Amino acid sequence: MTASANPLRAGLRLARVAEPSILVIFGGTGDLTTHKLMPAIYDLARQRLLPAAFGVVGIGRADLSDAEYRAQARDAVAHNSRSRPIDEEVWRSFSERLFYVSVRSEDGYDDLRRRLAQFDAQLGTAGGRLFYLATPPAAYAPIVRALGRHDVARNGDGWARIVVEKPFGRDLESARALTHTVHEVFREDELFRIDHYLGKETVQNILVLRFANAIFEPIWSRQYVDHVQITVAESVGVDDRAEYYDSAGAMRDVVQNHLLQLLTLVAMEPPASFEAEAVRDEKVKVLRAMRPIGRDEIEARTVRGQYDAGYIEGATVQGYRQLREIAPESRTETFVALKLFVDNWRWEGIPFYLRTGKRMPKRATEIAIQFRAVPHHLFSAEAREGLDPNTLVLRIQPEEGISLRFGAKVPVQGIRIRSVAMDFVYGASFLVDAPDAYETLVVDALRGDGTLFTRQDEVEEQWKLVDPILAAWRESDGEAPRYPAGTWGPTEADLFIGRDGRRWRQP
């Protein structure tokens, strides 16, 4: 039975059961696997969301036995799983299906092919394979080519899929080249470009909030919305990612993927169904409708910045250029603010303000839809002194939830109005921990559900918007304005939004 023929599938993605398969993780001993993937896979096993016939194969350069790899994996789960302590019965069953293969050179792929065939026979996985590239981006293309040359990707009639971590390319040209390379071995429907933000509960809840409630969608347009702010703030610096970050910057690291994906979910039209292609079709329409930022608009519609020394939670932190791995003359941006427009019937003329930065006062990701002020004020200026426009805020991290601000009368003699909030918090409302984003995305990839993954045309449209901005910054004589660590970015960012008579929300 196909997914569309299954009545349980309509509106319920979890109806599709993952097929027998082996999850092959390149970078099987790396940070991503240690901190995210292995804990997520264990938690899926604990929830019985993995297929009965299933195995995990970690790939790395080190010489490790299966027992040594299992010990490393247990340590990763013990320190990073959201469900602690380890359930010994679950771990025993899970670890028996956990293996390691060392691949140091091209010859290692021949050994990998033989070992995977053995695991298929041993575990009953019928040749189903999901390859996960948890490696530095430079390794993506060589790994894919080697999988093709050594006939590793497929075994008989079994299915094959591949998950590629962001960044997918560093510009439009390299993204297209990487897609071409992957397509030599895997079809587009077998390629899962992962953006972990799309696996977060509140991000998925954007669609539920909009399309499962009759009260929001009628006012979700230029008629009622004044503007939208999307903020991804990080209190951390670049840590051990300095080499990568200095070649990428905030635009490639966060804006091109996370921020633009969040914008598409806020701005998209209702899809015909909650199927992968229907949802992604609507997201692509938003990206194609976005107004490009020309060179003559760079100063008016973009701001970049770079953090300097300052204080985070009372502790002194170094400036970006003071880090040992960063060149003293580095111009890499650690802060970006953009003003974007979606030129379509629903959003014409409504600004979307995007902002992200390192070393900001707190870690916070939120989407704020600010509605227009009432058309006529009945109450005196003194009475409404504490009244702000209605705002719907979707908090994505650290505490996932939704807040609606509206005006209410203060319980005193006479009329005094103050803005108050109605809050929905996941943990308090459902009394369960939300699944980690990687749990959601791994199980979706095993099911072959691409709804929360980015398609080729999405990625290309994102780069089409970002590339001209990066080129203009690169060719300019000026440097990114500095901002002290522990602040909300450079002063230029406040002036940038202030020119429109607006101000940034403080999460």
Both structure tokens of 139: 């390794």
As given in the structure block, the two tokens for residue 207 are: 């669609």
The helix (H) or strand (E) run that includes residue 163 is strand 160-165
Distance, CA of 191 to CA of 51 (rounded, Å): 21
How many CB atoms are closer than 10 A to CB 426?
A: 18
Strands (DSSP E) along 240-349, which ranges?
302-308, 310-312, 315-317, 335-341
258 is catalytic: yes
CA distance 402 to 4: 32
Q: Distance between CA atoms of 494 and 137, rounded to whole angstroms?
A: 34
In angstroms, the CA 73 to CA 83 distance is: 15
- Compute how many other C-beta atoms are within 10 angstroms of the C-beta atom of residue 381: 7
Coarse DSSP helix, strand, coil percentages of the chain, rounded to the nearest 5 percent: 40, 20, 40
| Burial tier of 481 (Cβ tally within 10 Å: 0-12, 13-18, 19+) | middle
Q: Position of tokens 């607006």?
A: 502
Active-site residue identified among 180, 183, 227, 258: 258
Alpha helices (H) in 17-65, listed in sequence order: 31-32, 38-46
Catalytic residues: 258
